[in-house]
Amino acid sequence: MTWRLEIAVQTPAHSALGDLLSYASGAELAPGSLVRVPLGRREVLGVVWAAEAVGPATPAQADAAEPMALREVAAALDALPPLSPAWRDLVGFAARYYQRSLGEVALAALPPQLRDLSAVQLARRLKRRTAAGEGPVVPAMANAPTPTPEQARALARLDAEAGPFLLFGSTGSGKTEVYLRAVAELLAREPDAQALVMVPEINLTPQLEARFAERFGADAVVSLHSGMTNPQRLASWLAAHLGHARIVLGTRMAVFASMPRLALVVVDEEHDPSYKQQEGARYSARDLAVWRGRREAAKVLLGSATPSLESWHQSRPPAGEDSGGRYVRLEMPSRIQAKDGGEGALPTVRLVDMNLQPPKTVLSAALLDAIGQRIARGEQSMVFLNRRGYAPVLACGDCGWKSECPHCSAFRVFHKIDRSLRCHHCGFAERVPRACPSCGNLDIAPIGRGTERLEEHLAELFNAVRRPDGSPVRIARIDADSTRKQGALEQQLAAVHAGEVDILVGTQMIAKGHDFRRITLVAALNPDGALFSSDFRAPERLFSLLMQAAGRAGRDAAYLAAQESNAQMWIQTHHPQHPLFTALRQHDYPAFASQELEERRAAGMPPFAFQALLRADARTQETAQAFLQAASEAAASLEGADRVSGYPAVPLPIQRVANVERAQMLIESGSRAALQKFLAGSLPLLHQLRQSPAGKGVIRWLVDVDPQAI
Ligand code: ADP
Ligand code: ZN
Ligand code: ZN
């Protein structure tokens, strides 16, 4: 017998090759099998998508039909069970929805090391794996807290209803405990079930992993994220695929983990922009999680203190004519209270009107005083500023020279620590010039302020202050620069946890998720930019960032009660009257969300409309824009094009990066299906156009469905 197999292999994005390639095989291989196949002169990993018997090959048939001309599968990795139909459907859906090739999505979803292993090596590796994780997992409940009434209610509904669920719980309301219990209840019912738990950032995985391992045992839990080595990733992937791991914990890539017994998917901090992949197939792991849950009849639990407006709208209760959204909203408004009566209150929000401060004020006197009080009590403060480096620009006061990047439409940032000017977009770095490169003036000065300069400034201000034990004040900084070295972040976080730091300075990296116990004051220094951004999602992101940052303060209710202290969130702004801050002050996400949703509805923006971005990169902005314009004209005749509107091509906010000019065109429709159909129809046109004179000078183009930043 000869078999004709349709196989997904990694083909270059947008290559002219079809989605699947055909190969011949002498043995029947089930769909989902992993194989090694020849491609050009290489041998590559592939996934069998379909198999068809083409019968014994006779010379006559060989002439008549083409199968015999097919190349043979080189090897089957048959020690591995095939990938499930559900997994293949997920990949197929993601490829279609995000307009990428099946092979690209399928291969990117597999651990990289699988590509390099021969069938024999893989079989050997599998043999070495003992039947780890066999036998039911018995959760360690001795130290588990008794659920609060809010937690108990959420868990009961989770159990009784189908979902998907949106767990809307304040920071510190015990969402993680709900995830832990939901998994425990699942495993009690179905001992061989699997749960997928996703978090937005790698640096949040160790903390969560520790909590899951403590509850379920280290053998039951594996991680999947890009910070792991290839062998580690392969080991985790195999444990999940073979059904040995009960719990897979990971970042967005984990949404594609092969989990044959998947029964529960948790997406923590579901609003976080990191769930959207920003290169290759630009998928949203949150949205795919919901799709996957439905396909596999697994429960889906999205959790957040500040849900995305999409999920919030989707979980609206029925009202009047409106029959409500598809998600079930579970609410946990209260912070966990301390056993001995601590209030567990959310921090008080204090707005400092920067218009009333002396010119050039960095930290207002009131804020400095408040930080000083924390130091005197042995408490910690966190000050965040969303800009790393020493100063965003270096400038010459004489001739007006500024530290522009020669390759990008952006300034190079001054980093004092190594006296460099570094472009945060293309990476171009140079030593700081001694004199102005344009006029020779020796007096070139930093303008503005990043975390490095803020750290220095705080050190000067608190130089003479002493901690209760008489020792000097300790200031630490955590941002992408301070954590570049492997393990640096863990060390720095440990120092904060151990109380070795009095003032922690950092970017939004420190605002997310960390359970710092002694921080009682959080300050945001310069959040105003997002209030008036051209990106309509900027206020939503700012609100959730500030709420999350506020959530870092006063997490230890018992401590606060004992000290008669209280937690504070300070915001320095030039727009204290802005409604966003009013809602923030009251910790009123629903009020903020309804304001924003009203504006979005009126303007016809998501979640009331669906969007895609078409982007082109070229040597000149004209070429890039002309390509997009030509594409839009060609697509205008597609069936259903009247249900879609295209905006004019415009430069990206950072127009030029590494000498490449970038342009984009927003495409919008009130119907997701209409937009999908239009995009699918446009793709072949784009391929054609790229080969035509209009494509000359175009370096690349791409489609971003449901873009997160515009
Ligand atoms: P969230 O994920 O909502 O920010 P966590 O689940 O991290 O909140 O809970 C905050 C703190 O409260 C943690 O230290 C956790 O151990 C504790 N906690 C959670 N649930 C309870 C409970 N039912 N009783 C007592 N403490 C709890
Ligand atoms: Zn000059
Ligand atoms: Zn640059």
Name the helix (H) or strand (E) containing 597: helix 589-603
Tell whether 403 and 477 lie within a shared domain.
no
pLDDT at site 86: 96
* Burial class for 38, CB neighbours closer than 10 Å (0-12, 13-18, 19+): middle
| End-of-domain residue from the set 573, 601, 629 | 601
Ligand 1 within 6 A of 173 CB?
A: yes
Tell whether 566 and 630 lie within a shared domain.
no
H helix and E strand count, the chain:
19, 28
> Does residue 88 surpass a pLDDT of 80?
yes
Tell whether 380 and 275 lie within a shared domain.
no
419 sits in the region (left: phi over 0; alpha: psi -120 to 50; else beta) called left
Spatial separation of the C-alpha atoms in residues 325 and 268, rounded to whole Å: 20
Spatial separation of the C-alpha atoms in residues 461 and 352, rounded to whole Å: 19
Spatial separation of the C-alpha atoms in residues 117 and 235, rounded to whole Å: 13
Spatial separation of the C-alpha atoms in residues 77 and 234, rounded to whole Å: 14
Ligand 1 within 6 A of 145 CB?
A: yes
- Find out whether 48 and 80 touch, Cβ atoms under 8 Å: no
> Does residue 62 surpass a pLDDT of 50?
no
pLDDT at site 130: 56
Tell whether 481 and 431 lie within a shared domain.
no
Ligand 1 within 6 A of 646 CB?
A: no
- Read off the pLDDT of residues 228-238 as tens digits, 9 standing for 90 and up: 899 999 999 99
Nearest CA to ligand 1 atom 23: 147
Tell whether 532 and 493 lie within a shared domain.
yes
- Find out whether 435 and 444 touch, Cβ atoms under 8 Å: yes
Give the range of the structural domain holding residue 403, as residue numbers without chain letter: 393-447
Tokens of 560: 């606060």
- Read off the pLDDT of residues 258-313 as tens digits, 9 standing for 90 and up: 999 999 999 999 999 999 999 888 999 999 999 999 999 999 999 999 999 999 99
Provide the percentage of residues in the chain whose pLDDT is more than 70: 94
Residue 138 lies in a domain: no
Tell whether 582 and 641 lie within a shared domain.
no
pLDDT at site 206: 80
Q: How confident is the model at residue 655 (pLDDT cuts 50, 70, 90)?
A: very high
Residue 698 lies in a domain: yes
Tell whether 356 and 466 lie within a shared domain.
yes
- Residue 293 phi/psi, 5-degree rounding, is -60, -45
Tell whether 162 and 307 lie within a shared domain.
yes
Residue 139 lies in a domain: no
Ligand 1: nearest atom to the Cα of 551:
4
Ligand 1 within 6 A of 171 CB?
A: yes
Chain CA centroid to CA 662, Å: 23
Tell which residue, 586, 584, 610, 608, has the closest CA to residue 597: 608
| DSSP state letter for 119 | H
pLDDT at site 68: 55
Q: How many other C-beta atoms are found inside a 10 Å radius of the C-beta of residue 542?
A: 21
CB within 5 A of ion ligand 2: which residues? 396, 398-399, 401, 436, 438-439, 441
Ligand 1 within 6 A of 177 CB?
A: yes
Partner residues linked to 329 by β-bridges:
166
List the CATH number of the domain containing 622: 3.30.70.360
Residue 137 lies in a domain: no
List the CATH number of the domain containing 476: 3.40.50.300
* Burial class for 289, CB neighbours closer than 10 Å (0-12, 13-18, 19+): buried
Ligand 1 within 6 A of 2 CB?
A: no
Spatial separation of the C-alpha atoms in residues 77 and 22, rounded to whole Å: 18
- Find out whether 230 and 138 touch, Cβ atoms under 8 Å: no
Residue 108 lies in a domain: yes
Return the ligand number nearest the Cα of 558.
Answer: 1
Tell whether 478 and 551 lie within a shared domain.
yes
How many Cα atoms are found within 13 Å in the side-chain-facing hemisphere of 599?
11
Average pLDDT over all residues of the chain:
89
Residue 700 lies in a domain: yes
Cα(179) to centroid(ligand 1), Å: 11
Mean pLDDT of 197-213: 86
CB within 5 A of ion ligand 3: which residues? 405, 407-408, 423, 425-426, 428
pTM of the model: 0.91
Q: What angle do CA 660, 663, 665 make, to 5 degrees?
A: 160
| End-of-domain residue from the set 601, 623, 644 | 601
Count of domains forming the chain = 5
706 sits in the region (left: phi over 0; alpha: psi -120 to 50; else beta) called left
pLDDT at site 526: 85
Residue 340 lies in a domain: no
Q: Name the CA radius of gyration of the chain, rounded.
A: 28
- Find out whether 246 and 188 touch, Cβ atoms under 8 Å: no
Partner residues linked to 519 by β-bridges:
380
Residue 342 lies in a domain: no
177 sits in the region (left: phi over 0; alpha: psi -120 to 50; else beta) called alpha
Ligand 1 within 6 A of 176 CB?
A: yes
Return the ligand number nearest the Cα of 266.
Answer: 1
* Polymer length of the chain: 710
List the CATH number of the domain containing 67: 3.40.1440.60
Question: Which carries the bigger pLDDT value, residue 40 or residue 647?
Answer: 647
Tell whether 327 and 247 lie within a shared domain.
yes
Out of 51-60, 122-131, 373-382, 437-446, which region has the weakest mean confidence (pLDDT)?
Answer: 51-60
Spatial separation of the C-alpha atoms in residues 277 and 283, rounded to whole Å: 5
Tell whether 306 and 381 lie within a shared domain.
no
Ligand 1: nearest atom to the Cα of 171:
4
- Report the 3 state secondary structure along 21-60: EEEEECCCCCCCCEEEEEECCEEEEEEEEEEEECCCCCHH
pLDDT at site 120: 84
Ligand 1: nearest atom to the Cα of 513:
4
Out of 258-267, 470-479, 515-524, 552-561, which region has the weakest mean confidence (pLDDT)?
Answer: 552-561
> Does residue 340 surpass a pLDDT of 60?
no
Q: How confident is the model at residue 60 (pLDDT cuts 50, 70, 90)?
A: very low
Cis peptide before 576 (omega within 30 of 0): no
Tell which residue, 500, 507, 498, has the closest CA to residue 477: 507
Tell whether 270 and 403 lie within a shared domain.
no
- Read off the pLDDT of residues 153-191 as tens digits, 9 standing for 90 and up: 999 999 999 989 999 998 888 999 999 999 999 999 999
> Does residue 343 surpass a pLDDT of 60?
no
| End-of-domain residue from the set 78, 95, 128 | 128
